[in-house]
Chains A and B, each alone.
Chain A
Amino acid sequence: MSARRIFARPARLAAIAPYLWMVLFFLVPFAFVLKISLSQTVIAQPPYTPVFDLTEGREALTAAFAQLSFDNFRLLLHDDLYILSYLRSLVVALTSTLILLLIGYPIACGMARLPQRWQGVAMILVIVPFWTSFLIRIYAWINILQHDGLLNKILLALHIVSAPVVWLSTDSAMYLGIVYSYLPFMILPLYATLSKMDASLLEAANDLGASPRRAFWLVTFPLSLPGVGAGALLCFIPIVGEFVIPDLLAGSDSLMIGQTMWLEFFTNKDWPVASAAAVALLLLLVPPLLLYDRLQRRQLEGNS
């Protein structure tokens, strides 16, 4: 037994309560999603069948099991609405992640090169918007982007455009909103790796004849790839399932998968299809989630 093991026992005991909580409120609910995704829609409360009722005995239970089917998943595969919204989600998430990377990298780079005491300030400046409500930040953009909003006013005043431009309910507005909301998530992991980088590495590259630009591409960028990966995943995964931003800023002609789910659930009251869509979305996200989980664990648990 070692000192670490002396501490391990009470620490494990401490983890029992959160463990049970997460099993009950995170793991078990997925079982319900899975089960209901295989059920049929009915107009009832709850609006699906079969309902497992353990009090009805074993036979009723087997009968209930027999009712489960993959019909909902077949629907997802054959209805353009779902396939298109999946594709759109992927495209939007990929494009946004790329834009975020392009905008976030220079900012993170600039932060990492600030004098030490200003780095802390810059760090707080990046985090503070994250603390202010995300809904409020989207709303702030609606203020600016609306028909007679500030942006159009400025553009008209500068004679860049002659008539107000429609910004709201467009993809540009949605991308703007997504980039705006997720920028801190991209900057922070990038900054974390860039600021840890030894400045003398660049000086060594310079000393060995690399121009600053080449030094960046040969040294800084390859070494920052873990940060790039973490930032990209931290943005990509939630953007795929994003609901509020496309709902408020994008047009209603093409939907992301989160919106489709919402629609099926709240408007069409089709819980089984919504659940099936959720399962499909989750399957889509499993590889990036696993990757992210590994990155997280490596970062949090160090080399020990």
Chain B
Amino acid sequence: MKRLSRCRSTASLRPLSTGGESGLKDVTSSEASVEAAKPLPEPAAPDMPLLRIESVAKSFGNFRAVDQLSLDIRAGEFFALLGPSGCGKTTLLRMLAGFETPDEGRILLGGKDIAPVLPHERPVNMMFQNYALFPHLSVRDNIAFGLKRAGMARADIAARVAEMVALVKLEGMEKRKPDQLSGGQRQRVALARSLARRPQVLLLDEPLAALDKKLRESTQGELMELQRRLGTTFIIVTHDQEEAMTMADRIGVMDAGRLAQVATPRNLYEAPASRWIAEFVGDINLFNGQVMSRDHSRLTVSTSEAGSLTVSELWPPVTKDVVCVAIRPEKVKLSRRAPASDEGGSHGINRLEGVVADVNYLGGVTTYKVRLESGAMVRSSMANTARLDVDAYLAGQRVVAWFTADDCMVLEQ
């Protein structure tokens, strides 16, 4: 338990951020090395989570939308459900709101099973993707709607509405109807309305999908700040990884009705649990191969496309011999010659020689595709740290693409 909490506070993946050249790894004991290579354990959970989803399943006809899914969510957490469309994330959210009843399993909120409780009797509120603002009611009446249903006193309602309006910075708009508001303002009204009842859990269904990119980014920040201030548990459904990464404390990646991985954004990206997640989250180079030898926690993998690669093993260690070596493009560096600090491969630097096949300048970064002798492509993205293009490579140029063993991941097929 102690270790878990330490890791949460440091919130860093593993102590290798200094890179392969530090030499730190070589002198650590094998035990420490295993510990170091291990992905960051999930943040500590108190004994009873606020929300516990216990092997919940839901089918529509023959389609299993949610399949034996279990998940714990702590009080005050900002949790994101991420997944491709049709993965069941919205169905799960709707079960939490009470719009769908699970076929199997329990949903415990504060220890009480709420699966059979009707939506209007749950201490949970939802912000709808299209906001679902009542078009016939003013901003004020929309926000007060849930409070009136709760039988709150008139004066208290007025006070709470004023508080909510201030919270989402909509002062002066109280008398407007939804169709007199901009998209961003409508989003705020929807947020204020769903927060007005002070729900224990706020469910947000693609809350930012209807906003344009710039507004979405600023709203992400505001939403996070609001969540921190109120301490309400937020569960957000999104298909936008960047959005999930930016806002959430933890992300649950869903695929075909199951949770493929639940992890912090960093762990999800740097230590994906499977090849599918590695490919789903962000960009990645993958090489299929076979484990040839094991030296401490260092594996040598023979691949047909990129030759022999040296990789650090993650925790838990791979059990099978047929594996897949994965490397994120930004961790693949390009240079004209092989890096000098190579002392007999002890740092585990992998070098792949090839020809630049494609260059895409994207402003902040430039992405390259390097064709190896085997014909395979390696993608690399490099930050444009200088204004002038002294570091740029041209298509057709011979380069060395290199990366350290620690930057690689080894995944089972």
A2 to B118, CA, bound (A): 10
> Are B100 and A6 touching (Cβ within 8 A)?
no
B276 touches A (CB below 8 Å)? no
A136 touches B (CB below 8 Å)? no
Kindly list chain B residues whose C-beta atoms are within 8 Å of the C-beta of A2: 94, 99-101
The main secondary structure of chain B at its interface with chain A is loop
Q: Which of B45-101 contact A (CB under 8 A)?
A: 94, 98-101
A6 to B117, CA, bound (A): 12
Kindly list chain A residues whose C-beta atoms are within 8 Å of the C-beta of B100: 1-3
Chain A 1-30 interface 0/1 with B at a Cβ cutoff of 8 Å (1 = within) = 111001000000000000000000000000
By CB atoms of chain A within 10 A, which of B99, B118, B119 has the most?
B99
A47 to B342, CA, bound (A): 114
- A-B contacts, CB under 8 A, total: 13
Give the number of residues in A that approach B within 8 Å (Cβ atoms): 4
Kindly list chain A residues whose C-beta atoms are within 8 Å of the C-beta of B119: 3, 6
| Min distance, Cβ A287 to any Cβ of chain B, angstroms | 33
| Min distance, Cβ A43 to any Cβ of chain B, angstroms | 62
| Min distance, Cβ A252 to any Cβ of chain B, angstroms | 56
Kindly list chain A residues whose C-beta atoms are within 8 Å of the C-beta of B99: 2-3
| Min distance, Cβ A269 to any Cβ of chain B, angstroms | 56
| Min distance, Cβ B49 to any Cβ of chain A, angstroms | 25
A1 to B101, CA, bound (A): 5
A2 to B101, CA, bound (A): 6
Q: Which of B102-124 contact A (CB under 8 A)?
A: 118-119
Residue of B whose beta carbon sits closest to that of A6: B118
| Min distance, Cβ A164 to any Cβ of chain B, angstroms | 59
| Min distance, Cβ B185 to any Cβ of chain A, angstroms | 26
| Min distance, Cβ B350 to any Cβ of chain A, angstroms | 51
Residue of B whose beta carbon sits closest to that of A3: B99
Kindly list chain A residues whose C-beta atoms are within 8 Å of the C-beta of B94: 2-3
Kindly list chain B residues whose C-beta atoms are within 8 Å of the C-beta of A1: 100-101
A215 to B222, CA, bound (A): 52
| Min distance, Cβ B91 to any Cβ of chain A, angstroms | 10
A2 to B100, CA, bound (A): 4
| Min distance, Cβ B104 to any Cβ of chain A, angstroms | 14
| Min distance, Cβ A11 to any Cβ of chain B, angstroms | 16
A59 to B99, CA, bound (A): 59
Given contacts A2-B101, A3-B100, 10 further A-B contacts (CB under 8 A): A1-B100, A2-B94, A2-B99, A2-B100, A3-B94, A3-B98, A3-B99, A3-B119, A6-B118, A6-B119
A sample of 9 inter-chain contacts (CB < 8 A) reads A1-B101, A2-B94, A2-B99, A2-B100, A3-B94, A3-B98, A3-B99, A3-B119, A6-B118
